[in-house]
Structure 1
Amino acid sequence: MKFKISSNSTSIQISAPFKESRKMLVVQKKPAHVKTFQRGLNLIQQGNFDEAEKAFKAILLVEPKALDVRMNIGYIAFKKSDYARAYDIFKKITDEVPNDVESLNRLALSAMYLGKFDEAESSLLKCVEAKPDHFDSWMNLCALAGFMHDEIKGIQYATKALTIRPGDANAYVNFGSTLQACNRPKDAAHAFETALLLDKKQIGAVVNLGVISAQFGDDAKAIEYFDKAIQLSTLNDATRVEEATYYKSMSFLRLGRLKEAWSLYDYGFAKSLTHGRGPRRSFHVPQWDGERLEGNERLMCWKEQGIGDELMFLSCLPQLQQKTENLIVECDARLVSPLARSFPNIQFREAIYYDDIDHSSVYDDFDVHIPLGSAFGLMRQDLDAFSQATPIIKPMPELKDRLSKRIGIGDGRLKVGICWRSGNLSATRNLHYTALSDWLPIFSARSDVDFFNLQYGDFVEEIKNTNRHYNLHINWWPDVDYKNNLEALFALSSSLDLVITVGTAVSTIAASVGTPTWLMTKPSWTTFGTDRFLAYPDVTLFRTSLDGAVNDQIEAVAHALKCLPTKY
């Protein structure tokens, strides 16, 4: 399990109880049942979950209430990422034996993966209330804190687990993960190294050391760690292999080794990853391989991630449409109208799907599919391919004309849009963003600039207070929905001379309409080993150091703004 850490995540160790049950609690009259049970265990160890489940179900035909048999079937469902079925199995068991700590832990872990955090916490707290020194429950509470991005509780739970078992390698992995989530990577690395001293084959510690190496800019070392984790893995470590392989692809991207990166990138959809690529969808048609489609074959390309990543990946649309005469793009609903206007020969529709474990499509009108990030990878196999990048969005003409008049185009003053933070903040994410008051050097760089808000979310009081306290006039309009009305944002951004932003969707919104964009950012995989943002040509990077904060670049941006000609 993982905390969200920049573009990678650290791994939280699921505690020991989520193993196959090895003790027959129901005494069988026929020895054959014991043999069948053992056969099921052996099949689990071999990774043959379907045959193992058949063996256990054969026992249930004779002993339908055999607890450990049902526990093992629930375990198999969990390992197959069928968390809803696992949850149902363990819920029935805990209803029958409400104070069984092992069953409650399994129920909690299944609930975690279904996003039922309150129920998971309630089950685990019931465990530690009954058994205050129950190590596995504290470990799973720490994992739950990771899911909930609650760093304070994570530290508390990890520390409690360590006091119970100070020599447990898994406990040090969890402790290190909580430290990493609190933006203490050096301390986290010490915890992971301690875990390896206790257990040289602790794969979670190896993976996490790779993540930290990448965070400090040593992706070559990170790849060594990820390869080591893969080499250490066994059949029971499939989830570690998936996460190590995905993180390896991200390191390749940061190094500009694009072919190697894209070949591994789809591991980001592994169901074992809590913070990989998403949504995870399944289809009854094959994934497109990049070859040109002939005749009436229809390709459906579907959205993933948020608006910022979506617009970056969509920059390959001009090349993608050359691969087929029948292209369908499922995108964010807010993008359907702007994209349809910009690419009239492509069918755009809102990305909707059934609310099931596979997020299966409600449509059946395509022959092959591909996630948008994977399509981007196929169109951008090397750095030279980015020379084809151009702005892709054509703003609504009448709306652009109206907003251009509203901002006063033609009065000789520079019109600059600003965005200073995301709407989703945490200890680690805060290093990527700023406070509006940090921008005072930019606001005072010159007197012939009008600043216009592009920030979304809860920003009104922050602008009002900054304007009042520093005698500024940052323009914002109550009648514009800065989050949901992307038509207005495209039109407004295209009317501006310049957009200055941190790493939010605003950067790609502005760049996708061709507005010069200054992006204050930490080093990121999206530069693909270069010093440029290659997806769109009109982006200038102001990059901080690996261990710095984005607001370190405020003075550099202020100086650059001061040096601009009167009309940019």
Structure 2
Amino acid sequence: MKIDVTPTATLTLQEAFQLGVTRYKEGNKKQARYIFESLLARAPEAIDVLQVLAVLDVEDKKYLEAEKKLRLALSHCNDTAITLDLAHCLKLQGKNSEAIQWVDEILNLHPLHSGALELRSAISQAMGQRSDSKKAGNIANTVQAAKSGHIQSEIQKTLETAGQLMASNNYALAEQLLKPLTLVDKTNIAVLSTLAKVCSSQDKHTEASHYYQQILDTESSAEFAILELARSCIKAKTYDIGIKACQTFNKHNPTMSLSVHIHWIELLYGKKLYDKAIDIINRIKVKNANHPDVLWVDAVVNFYYLKDVKSYTVKDMTSSEKKILKAINGNKSNINRLNELNACLYLLNIFMGRFNEAENMLHTVHGDKSSILWNISPIKRASHNWGEYYQYYEEGIPANARMTFSLDNKKWDPRTSDNEDVLIVREQGVGDELFFYHNLDYVIKRSNKVYLACDRRLVPILEIAYPEVECIPLIPNTEFIHNRDKLDILNKVDSWIPAGSIEQHIYREYDAHWIRESYVKTPPEQQSYWENKVKQYAQPDQLKIGLSWRSGLKTNVRNLHYLSLDEVAHFMKQFPNATFYNLQYGECAKEIKKLKKLTGMDIVNFDDLDLKDDFLSTAAVMNSLDTVFTVGSAVYRLAVATGVQSYIFFARKSDDDFSQPITFFGEDKDKKHENLFAYPPLIENKYPLVESIASKIKKDFNI
């Protein structure tokens, strides 16, 4: 029987049950309960599921619900463990008389059952029956003592057998042999440690971490256990579990070793808790500043903190470069670390626009081949090496950089596909989509039927531009599978293609890179409405300029491509007689107010225009302007797709000359209304850049 227990996976009952157990051990009781309740809905008589849910109910103090489940389980199976659980549940509710009846039922069959004897002693004491309580307790203690010596002997024999199985790589059998021992002796460190090693050898790192945690619960100063637990959590990416364990270990062992600190930092870095990781790094640097481990984590954590969180300033990038180079020098004998550090330096060179240095480093960068080639693609594009660019760009799919999913259907290829039903799938951001959709005609003309899974905000535009295409609206910034209810079409199409993969075929066939120079068309009534609104704020002879100075992301690598408000103001001052219109989406009221203060000039902002979600109305506004001045964001892509004269600034190579627009695709191969100004990422004063763009606009508009 197959049971669907998550939004993305179909599992067998046994697999789903194990998943629920794993989630429970990880501390995610809410998700564990969801899985078990889903299983129960489909298998109402699943005894083990009823028992586990009863345990969860007891932990949540829902005793009556737990009792009902246990009674139902017993009605299908006369099981000693379930009977004992029911007796315990009844005791918690104060139903001691009935509880003791269930315990006695167990003892009638198993007079020396230690668990039943211990529970009977506790119930008798709660009922004031001290004599019975003492008697049951004494019997339980006697049984336990008698068993103990024999048990330890059996445990030792089992450990020796398990060791032999592990030596012959028979880990699964060793695990089966060892697991029952944890029910007999839950605190035996040798058993728990061996089980953890067996699980690790089978890549069951989450389970391994649970066994190491049990060791720490028994012996809080067991450093080998915290180190192995941390390693297991890093491999399983269960960072929260490892971080919590390290915090607890540090509390009990304030003078813990440097190795534990390093693993703690790795866990925090894996969770992207960079601030906390850097705090620990700064503490251990006091006495270990030049230790290879410290140099390594200091360089790597600070690089990814810069990449993912901080603004990209010259100071921060230079500081990161120094840390990486120092760490490389201190870790020359550690190949894995050298690979990681060289990869960081390679990416940093790209961010800094040092493409030649980055390309010269390729022989030092190792790891996932697809990721490496994908990161080379911008270099190949900048040098117009189109054959290698398109080859490496396609590596972004297996690298999960362009999309984080794949479909089972075959890929569409015009050389092998003819008159098929094709699904084109969105990828990356909405700006990328707008760029890719210049090329839909190429697939339309070579297919029987085209479906387009796109950002739902673009559907109004695409239905007008490409009426023969059936759009499947998707929610942006979510996993593809979450929209699967809208993609039952997958069963009907013959093939599929990511939207960004169409361009390579155009280049191969035509030595070109796009089909339509522009494609956005606005309905006449809507266009007229926004034209009239735009005209209200400008004189007939005034230049109407749309402004956007950043994207919606403010604190990552994109900051390299933004202008400061002072630089935006400097651009505006080049056109004292122009009227400026806001195209900056997101919260920007304070920025507009500051620009007014810096320039004395107003920026027209339409309160009834949704710049983030209403792309068709935004296109109508752009169509009503003379030109758009923008950062390389979705605003830029929409302006070009609309056909408005556009001037775009973005950081690229260290040797870029921003005095003139670049030829992005090559001489006479760019869109005529698209003017791209590339500048070195590390320039701090962008006044000359905006002056160059302003000069080009003045020339184009005869000002």
What SS does the aligned partner of 2:326 have?
helix
Q: Distance in 1 between matches of 2:503 and 2:264?
A: 38
After superposition, residues 176-215 of structure 1 pair within 5 angstroms as: 176-180=299-303, 181=306, 183=312, 184-197=316-329, 198-200=331-333, 201=335, 202-215=338-351
The aligned counterpart of 1:347 is 470
**Cα distance change, pair 121–288 in 1 and its aligned pair in 2 (3 A):** farther
Equivalent residue for 1:62? 177
Contact 2:455 2:474 in 1 (8 A): yes
**1:298-352 per-position Cα deviation (integer Å, ceiling 9, x unaligned):** 2222112111222222222222323322222211110122112101122211236
Contact 1:277–1:304 under 8 Å retained in 2? no
Higher relative contact order (CA 8 A, sep 6+): 1
Instruction: Identify the residue that residue 247 of structure 1 maps to in structure 2.
Output: 375
Q: Which runs of 5+ in 2 are unaligned?
A: 1-154, 183-190
Residues 262 and 31 of structure 1: CA distance in aligned 2, closer, same or farther (over 3 Å): farther
Cα displacement string for residues 461-492 of structure 1 (whole angstroms, at most 9, x for unaligned residues): 32134335643210001222211111221221
Alignment of 1:61-460 (within 5 A): 61-64=176-179, 67=192, 69=195, 73=199, 90=209, 94=213, 101-102=226-227, 105=230, 109=234, 122-132=244-254, 133-135=256-258, 138-139=261-262, 142-143=265-266, 152-160=275-283, 162=285, 166=289, 169=292, 171-180=294-303, 181=306, 183=312, 184-197=316-329, 198-200=331-333, 201=335, 202-230=338-366, 239-270=367-398, 277-295=401-419, 297-351=420-474, 361-362=484-485, 363=488, 364=490, 365-381=492-508, 384-386=511-513, 388-408=515-535, 411-426=540-555, 428-460=557-589
* CA shift for structure 1 position 414: 1.6
- What one-letter code is carried by the residue in structure 1 that aligns with 2:173? A
3-state SS of paired residue (2:445) = helix
Q: Distance in 2 between matches of 1:437 and 1:209?
A: 31
Deviation for aligned residue 1:521 = 1.2
Q: Which amino acid aligns with 2:332?
A: D
Q: Decide whether aligned partners of structure 1 residues 111 and 386 sit closer, same or farther in structure 2, where only a CA change above 3 A counts.
A: same
CA distance in 2 between partners of 1:383 and 1:123 (Å): 59
Q: Which amino acid letter does the alignment assign opposite residue 554 of structure 1?
A: V
Amino acid at match of 1:185: M
TM-score (norm 1): 0.75
- Distance (whole Å) between structure 1 residues aligned to residue 385 and residue 512 of structure 2: 13
Pair 126,36 (structure 1): closer, same or farther in 2 beyond 3 Å: same
Q: Is residue 281–residue 360 contact of structure 1 (8 Å, CA) maintained in 2?
A: no
Residue among 663, 671, 695 paired with 1:532? 663
Query: Is the CA contact (8 Å cut-off) linking 1:252 and 1:260 kept in structure 2?
Result: yes
Larger radius of gyration: 2
**Code of the aligned partner of 2:622:** S
Give 1:518 shift.
0.6
Moved more, 555-564 or 278-287: 555-564
Q: Name which of 679, 682, 691 aligns with 1:547.
A: 682
Equivalent residue number for residue 517 of structure 1: 646
Q: TM-score, normalised on structure 2?
A: 0.62
Letter in 1 for 2:683: G
Cα deviations by residue, 1:15-40 (Å, 9 ceiling, x for unpaired)? xxxxxxxxxxx966275533443455
AA of the residue aligned to 2:517: T
Q: Secondary structure at the match of 1:385?
A: coil
How many residues are paired up? 502
Describe the shift of the 1:402–1:134 C-alpha distance in structure 2 as closer, same or farther (beyond 3 A).
farther
Counterpart residue number, 1:6: none
Question: Offset at 1:415?
Answer: 1.4
Alignment-derived partner of residue 467 in structure 1 = 596
Q: Which runs of 5+ in 1 are unaligned?
A: 1-25, 41-54, 79-85, 231-238
- Write the letter of the residue equivalent to 1:286: K
- In structure 2, the partner of 1:234 is none
**Partners in 2 of 1:28 and 1:379 — Cα distance?**
69
More moved, 90-99 vs 503-512: 90-99
Deviation of 1:382 (Å): 9.3
Report what 2:88 is aligned to.
none
Q: Which residue number corresponds to residue 95 of structure 2?
A: none
1:538 and 1:126 map into 2 onto residues whose CA distance is 61
Query: 1:203 deviation in Å?
Result: 0.9
Q: Deviations over 1:267-314 (max 9, x none)?
A: 4345xx7xx51441132223334535224x322221121112222222
Deviations 1:101-129 (A, max 9, x none): 2465357547868xxx8777545544544
1:558 aligns with 694
2:158 is paired with a residue whose SS is coil
CA contact under 8 A between 2:426 and 2:453: conserved in structure 1?
yes
User: What is the aligned partner in structure 2 of residue 49 from structure 1?
Assistant: none
What is the identity, as a one-letter code, of the residue corresponding to 1:252?
K
CA contact (8 A) 2:158 2:178 kept: no
Structure 2 CA distance for partners of 1:294 and 1:444, relative to 1, 3 Å: same
Partners of 1:28 and 1:479 lie apart in 2 by 78
Name the CA distance, whole Å, in 2 between partners of 1:331 and 1:357.
11
CA drift at 1:399: 1.4
Identity of aligned residues (%): 19
Q: Matches of 2:278 and 2:345 in 1, distance apart?
A: 19
Classify the secondary structure of the residue corresponding to 2:177: coil
Higher mean alpha-carbon deviation, 503-512 vs 189-198, is at: 189-198
Structure 1 residue 355: Cα displacement: 8.3
One-letter amino acid of the counterpart of residue 417, structure 2: L
- Between 124-133 and 494-503, the greater mean CA deviation after superposition: 124-133
Q: Residue 299 of structure 2 contacts residue 327 of structure 2 at CA under 8 Å; is this kept in 1?
A: no
CA distance in 1, matches of 2:392, 2:166: 37
**Which letter maps to 2:425?**
W
Partner amino acid for 2:299?
G
Residue 508 of structure 1 aligns with an amino acid whose one-letter code is: R
Over aligned residue pairs, what C-alpha RMSD do you find?
Answer: 3.9
Q: Is the 8 A contact 2:518 2:643 kept in 1?
A: yes
What is the CA–CA distance in structure 1 between the aligned matches of 2:201 and 2:249, rounded to whole Å?
A: 19
Higher alpha-carbon deviation: 426-435 or 510-519: 426-435
